Structure 1
Amino acid sequence: LNPNHLGFNSIVAFRNRYCHFETIWIGNRQINVPVGFTNLAEIEMKLKKFAYRKTKKECLDLPDKLYVKRNIEFTDEQARIYNDIRTEARATLRGAELTVTNVLTEILRLHQVSCGFFKTKEESIQPIANKRLDTLLEICEDTDAKIIVWATYIYNVEQITKTLREKFGVDSTVDFYGEVSSEKRTEAIERFQNDPKCRFFVANPATGGLGITLTAASIVVYYSNSYNAEHRVQSEDRSHRIGQEKKVTYIDFVTPDTIDEKILGALKTKFKLSAKTMGEVVREWF
């Protein structure tokens, strides 16, 4: 931090001035996590003294974004495992056991179950019968448009890629995530943008959400979301940027009354905070 700009010499003093904290336990360790923010008008005035910002909307004439939420019910197996984790901090499937030891692990495991799998104590992955893949296939069959599918977990990226290639042909789908080489990533972007046979781009936002152009897509499916607001904003803009001539539809897969809704709620809160800090209008989202 530059004390000449914001008046603080340390990040601790800065955090204490603008954040509210809550103490949580991670195993035997106690940590403070920010749960809210304060004095936003003050920091906004400080930032305006040396920062100037133009939004994408002010600079570019792009088509609108359209947001759609697709509710997906749990299968009986998913519901049982999900409720077992919430109430007993453990669950079993086909003889394999999953346990959780703290709140952060519980959140992770609940989200994985919502996405159709869980990771056992031995770190093996157990697939769970779910309706997300079927819903994705319905969307893909109902349109000829090119589609980006964002998924938080590598397991889902690989599962979706395999399923789409089996359904629509090997040339129909490219993937983009940590295990893909830089050469293959460049080839994936080129094929998706220019090859009519390549309709689906399946990726992880942490890897593919920054710095690439995917304007061939007019439909973007969020198979799952994470709490990372930057990943969400940046991944949306892979298709909504210079060169896009169509409206872009964003479809979020959400199971009602689960961790999915809590994640969306957290993202909304972060978007509102960002808009308030920067003096912008809050984005329309659901």
Structure 2
Amino acid sequence: MVQPGRRQTGARRTPPRRQPRVAAPQDLVSLLARSVREVETAVERHRVTPAVRTKFQVVALLVREEHTRVRENMGNQARRVELLKRLDKIGTTLAQTAVRDPGLLALLAEDAVVSDAARALKNEMLRSVGIEPAPEATPTVEAAAGSVSPERQVVPRSVVSRQLVTPFLAPDFSSAPPPAPRVRRLADWELLNPLLRAFERAEGGAPACMDLPAPAPLRVQRYRELMPHQARVVAAAAAGHRTFLLADEPGLGKTAQALLAAEAANAYPLLVVVPSVVKINWAREVGLWTPNRTATVVHGNGDTVDGFADIVIVNYEVLDRHVGWFGDFGFRGMVVDEAHFIKNKTSQRSQHVLDLAKRIRSRTIRPLLMALTGTPLINDIDDFRAIWQFLGWIDETQPLGELMNALEETGLTPADPGFYAAARQCVIDLGIVRRRKIDVAADIPDRRTADLPVELDDKVGRSIRAAERDLARRLVARYETALANRRSGPVDGIDTDLVRKVASAELKDTATKEAGENVFSMMRRIGQAKAGLAADYAAQLARSAGKVVFFAKHIDVMDVAEDVFERQGIRFSSIRGDQTPTSRQKNIDAFVSDPQVAIAVCSLTAAGVGLNLQVASNIVLAELSWTDAEQTQAIDRSHRIGQTEPVIAWRIIAARTMDSRIAELIDKKAGLAARALDGSDEDVWSSADVQHEALVALLTDALTTPAA
């Protein structure tokens, strides 16, 4: 949030709506501290009952809410700092406890289901300290088929009004031709895995982009005109194409393409599902690109929804409350922004998106379905599955309709040498659109990443290096034990196969290990240790080169940076995941528009997608991502259409630690999207591979270098 003094830039903060408190907030914090100790003790004793899991989740929920309330709505700075420290300590205990039990770790996910028992316990805990809980929405609609849990359903009044006065929204199947029976040559073949592997095995020089029509001149308003690559997608929609995986590199204007494709296809009413950080911006873009259309943004229970709007914009986090009326509303199009958010098909948000798309297809003949993401592949090639299923190209087990027909027409099977190239082209022709900046927007200045090594010579730095040595010794001991117990003969030098197996076992055990450092906790500690140094460098850049975007993965690193900027008298905006959309947008606007706001302190997960921060050309990456895709997304908040200066991303690397090793691996293994989508010959690696390779390198070095 924007800071004058501590947390403002001139934009007024809107306090969250909460019931008046009749007890001091310390009472709740004390209760949370006691409760988390009880959970911790139960986990240590291996007595994790359903009641313990419920209490763990409730503590996590209340810590988040209280952290937001204290940070945004408490005027006394000393008291606020004290409470935030106590809440952060509780949060740390939650995280450390969750590492010991994967079931608890899942409860920390943003899309974790909140059970009725958890809601009841939460209300009970609040009342025990004199806080009256805010009333919750009562479910009014039966759970939709295929949902993973009962939906906390609400139906906004204006939506009911629209349904009463617009009976034409009822589905009309009269124009749907009956499916023609066909003999399936490939009926007995397993096809989904070969289709995915076809993208892994793409030959060099084989980019992934469907044939698009020639662009027609399209001036939206007096001073706003589409670029040729954008106009091609709109022309394809106008020509009747209805499914798109719009995977242009970040910064090439996918929002405008989607809105104008919907206009060309007359796909109204249109549902747009987006990350919360960009839903206000989507409403603004509607006004810029399709000013003749009305947009409504769904907040919370949807009390302010305009049921007669052409475009309904909702964020993933509240989708579960609205899928009931969404499914019956009569949408003729659906856009999913940052579609890689649905890659985990077991998550609630992914299942809701897939179910809604299925229901829209069941009511509308050839609806417009668009998945927007500059990084469709983050972890591995299977990230395609949920997106393809959303678009209706496949289901859980096989290709569908158009794709199956196209595969049949190739005359090939997975046993034939030419199948993979032909199958890849069949998928691309269904609607994959991938363009690179270098090819379609050559006027965007270059970008580069520069590493800045920093020395951690203080007590914390020495502790980190000692912890890394302990981890290496543990790996060596594990290796030597395995070597002594195996039955095969001796191996000259280091057994590289065994090294990789030991690293895999260590990575697998990380989630349940009760003591000792692991690769994840070490990277977290390194991020905390270099936070102040990264902030100092960002401050120097802001004074000498203008506006700076500062990215961090963890809240505590952002807090340290903001304290540094405050002490140095530098005004900044804070863009975090726990802000209200209105508050977050004010902070974004302040950074973009106010020349006195020098730095945007951004959460990598909350601000790494969808934002336009091209007012800055210098980016500081205070912590490393596990994937090149996540790092690229952050850099492309500034490196996008409209940028006039070369963009430099300054990556702060802790020298002589695992940090530098991880940085090298990320750079080396950045080829997933490049091979699958851009026709590169680079190797395909995932984030799990990077973690594994870091342990392999650590163990190999320890076996090669004699102990000091």
Shift of 1:233: 1.4
Distance 1:57 1:181 in 2: 36
What is the DSSP-based 3-state SS (H/G/I as helix, E as strand, rest coil) of the residue aligned with 1:235?
A: helix
Query: For the residues of structure 2 that align with 1:130 and 1:192, how far apart are their CA atoms?
Result: 21
Q: Deviations over 1:17-63 (max 9, x none)?
A: 969xxxxxxxxxxxxxxx999xxx98666423332532232222201
1:57 counterpart letter in structure 2 = I
What percent identity do the matched residue pairs reach? 19
Query: In the aligned structure 2, how far is the partner of 1:12 from the partner of 1:256?
Result: 43
Separation (CA, whole Å) in 1 of partners of 2:537 and 2:572: 17
CA contact (8 A) 1:44 1:277 kept: no
Matched, 1:77 2:459: yes
> Where does residue 58 of structure 1 map in the other structure?
439
1:268 maps to 2:667: yes
Matched, 1:217 2:599: no
The offset of 1:140, in angstroms, is 3.3
| Structure 2 counterparts to residues 251-266 of structure 1, below 5 A | 251-266=650-665
Give the match's secondary structure for 1:86. helix
Residue of structure 2 in register with 1:116 after alignment: 528
Structure 2 residue 639 is the aligned partner of structure 1 residue 240: yes
User: What is the CA distance between 1:163 and its match in structure 2?
Assistant: 1.8
Contact 1:114–1:255 (CA<8 Å) still a contact in 2?
yes
Residue 139 of structure 1 pairs with residue 541 of structure 2 = yes
Of 566, 578, 591, the match for 1:192: 591
Deviations 1:89-140 (A, max 9, x none): 5xxxxxxxxxxx95466112211222235xxxxxxxxxx9964443333333
**In 1, distance between residues paired with 2:658 and 2:510?**
13
- 1:149–1:220: 8 Å Cα contact kept in structure 2? yes
Alignment match of 1:168 (pick from 556, 559, 569) = 569
> Retained in 2: the 8 A contact 1:75–1:130?
no
Maintained 8 Å contact 1:150/1:222: yes
Change in CA separation of 1:43 and 1:113 when aligned onto 2, cut-off 3 Å: farther
The Cα of 1:265 is off from its aligned counterpart by 2.6
Distance 1:48 1:233, change over 3 A: farther
Compute the displacement of 1:68 (Å): 1.4
Judge conservation of contact 2:576–2:602 (CA < 8 Å) in 1.
yes
Runs of 5+ consecutive residues of structure 2 not aligned to the other structure = 1-185, 202-378, 382-417, 472-507, 512-516, 683-708
Is the alpha carbon distance of 1:265 and 1:144 closer, same or farther for their aligned partners in structure 2, counting shifts above 3 Å? closer
> Would you say the 8 A contact 2:195–2:423 is kept in 1?
no
- CA deviation after TM superposition for structure 1 residue 13, in Å: 10
> What CA distance in whole angstroms lies between the structure 2 residues aligned with 1:129 and 1:223?
6
**Gap change, CA 1:167 and 1:12, over 3 Å in 2:** farther
Residues 54, 132 of structure 1: alpha-carbon distance in 2 compared, 3 angstrom cutoff: closer
Is contact 1:78-1:116 (8 Å) kept? no
Q: Which structure has the greater CA radius of gyration? A: 2
- Specify the alignment match of 1:68 in structure 2: 450
Corresponding position of 2:605? 206
Change in 2 beyond 3 A, CA 1:43/1:112: farther
**Which AA in structure 1 matches 2:615?**
A
The alpha carbon displacement at 1:263 in A equals 2.5
Q: TM-score, normalised by structure 1?
A: 0.70
Rounded Cα–Cα distance in structure 2 between residues aligned with 1:13 and 1:155: 43
Q: Deviations over 1:223-273 (max 9, x none)?
A: 111103332111111111111111111101012232222332332234234
In 2, Cα distance between equivalents of 1:13 and 1:80: 49
Task: Tell me the amino acid that sits aligned with residue 59 of structure 1.
Answer: V
Report the CA distance between 1:204 and its aligned residue. Answer: 1.2
Tell me if structure 1 keeps the 8 A contact 2:534–2:620.
no
**Shift in Å, 1:182:** 1.2
Q: Greater relative contact order: 1 or 2 (C-alpha under 8 angstroms, separation 6 or more)?
A: 1
Structure 1's 114 and 48: CA in aligned 2 closer, same or farther, altered over 3 A? Answer: same
Unaligned runs of 5+ in 1: 20-34, 90-100, 118-127
User: Aligned AA for 1:276?
Assistant: R
Query: CA 1:56/1:82 → structure 2, altered by over 3 Å: closer, same or farther?
Result: same
Residues in 1 aligned to 2:463 and 2:194: alpha-carbon distance in whole angstroms:
41
Structure 1 residue 280, shift from structure 2 partner: 4.4
Counterpart for residue 97 of structure 1:
none
Quote the residue 2:426 is aligned against.
49
More strand, by proportion: 1
SS in 2 for 1:225: coil
User: Is it true that 1:106 corresponds to 2:518 in the alignment?
Assistant: yes
- 1:136-168 per-position Cα deviation (integer Å, ceiling 9, x unaligned): 333334x14100001111101122122212312
Change (3 A) 1:263 1:46: farther
Code of the aligned partner of 1:204: S
In structure 2, how many angstroms separate the alpha carbons of the residues matched to 1:262 and 1:256? 9
Residue 587 of structure 2 aligns to a residue whose secondary structure is helix
Is the CA contact 1:74–1:131 (under 8 Å) kept in the aligned structure 2? no
Write out per-residue CA displacement over residues 182-203 of structure 1, whole angstroms, 9 at most, x where no aligned residue. Answer: 1111011111111111110011
Please tell me the residue identity of whatever aligns with 1:68: A
- C-alpha change, 1:43 and 1:197, in structure 2 (3 Å) is farther
Partners of 1:224 and 1:54 lie apart in 2 by 29
Deviates more, 1:253-262 or 1:210-219: 253-262
Distance 1:48 1:14, change over 3 A: closer
CA distance 1:62–1:83, shift in 2 (3 Å): same
Checking the alignment, whether the CA contact within 8 Å between 2:542 and 2:598 is kept in structure 1 is: no
1:72/1:144 Cα in 2 relative to 1: closer, same or farther (>3 Å)? same
| TM-score calculated relative to the size of structure 2 | 0.30
Cα separation, 1, equivalents of 2:459 and 2:521: 15
Aligned length: 237
Query: Which residue identity does 2:569 align to in structure 1?
Result: F
- Partner Cα distance (2:534, 2:586) in 1: 28
Query: Could you say what the CA RMSD is over the residues aligned between the two structures, in angstroms?
Result: 3.6
